[in-house]
């Protein structure tokens, strides 16, 4: 059984964006949701209640369930995430060093089927293929 697909289908069916999920120690299952207006406690409760019932029916093994927003430093995982936050500043880590560097900070300037392009400090542009991205997060705006 593909637990991630099951959770994603349920979360999107409730009208939320599925951001990610993780299994942590001692049976903890964390689910991150988002929506354009932001996520409140009521949203987390609604998704948690639905997922709890679903997990019982499907026989998914876990001890505790946490549902929350992804936070101000939201992870970017899919090309659609990068497109949604076009123009925003992100931190990006590549899998293999480029000129001795793995970490970059820049604004998203374009997103294609194969890569994302960032504009860093000055006029530095960086194009990174999806398979080369280790992780990427929004830089919080205060």
> For residue range 104-141, what is the model confidence (pLDDT) as tens digits?
999 999 999 999 999 987 778 999 999 999 999 999 98
Instruction: For the chain, give every residue range classified as CATH 3.30.300.70.
Output: 3-68
pLDDT band at 95 (very low <50, low <70, confident <90, very high): very high
- pLDDT for position 122: 74
CATH superfamily label, 79-138: Ribosome maturation factor RimP, C-terminal domain (2.30.30.180)
Q: What is the pLDDT of residues 10-54, one digit of tens each?
A: 999 999 999 999 998 888 999 999 998 889 999 999 999 999 999
The average pLDDT across 72-76 equals: 93
Name the residue among 115, 108, 135 with its Cα closest to residue 22. 135
* CA–CA separation, 1 and 22 (whole Å): 16
Residue 99 has pLDDT above 90, yes or no: no
What residues have CB less than 8 Å from 90, skipping those under 6 apart? 76, 82, 105, 106, 107, 108, 118, 136, 137, 138, 139
Say which CATH topology domain 3-68 has: GMP Synthetase; Chain A, domain 3 (3.30.300)
- Distance of alpha carbon 97 from its chain centroid, rounded? 23
- pLDDT for position 141: 87
**What pTM, to 2 d.p., does this model score?**
0.80
Instruction: For the chain, give every residue range classified as CATH 2.30.30.180.
Output: 79-138
- pLDDT for position 13: 96
């Amino acid at each position: 059984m593909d637990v991630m697909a099951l959770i994603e289908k349920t979360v999107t069916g409730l009208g939320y964006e599925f951001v990610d999920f993780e299994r942590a120690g001692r049976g903890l299952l964390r689910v991150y949701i988002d929506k354009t207006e932001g996520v409140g406690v009521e949203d987390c409760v609604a998704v948690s209640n639905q997922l709890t019932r679903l997990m019982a029916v499907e026989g998914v093994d876990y001890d505790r369930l946490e549902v929350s927003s992804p936070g101000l430093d939201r992870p970017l995982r899919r090309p659609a995430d990068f497109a949604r936050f076009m123009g925003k500043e992100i931190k990006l880590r590549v899998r293999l060093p480029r000129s001795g560097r793995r970490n970059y900070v820049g604004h998203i300037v374009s997103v294609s089927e194969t890569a994302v392009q960032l504009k860093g400090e000055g006029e530095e542009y960086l194009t990174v293929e999806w398979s080369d991205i280790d992780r990427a997060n929004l830089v919080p705006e205060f």
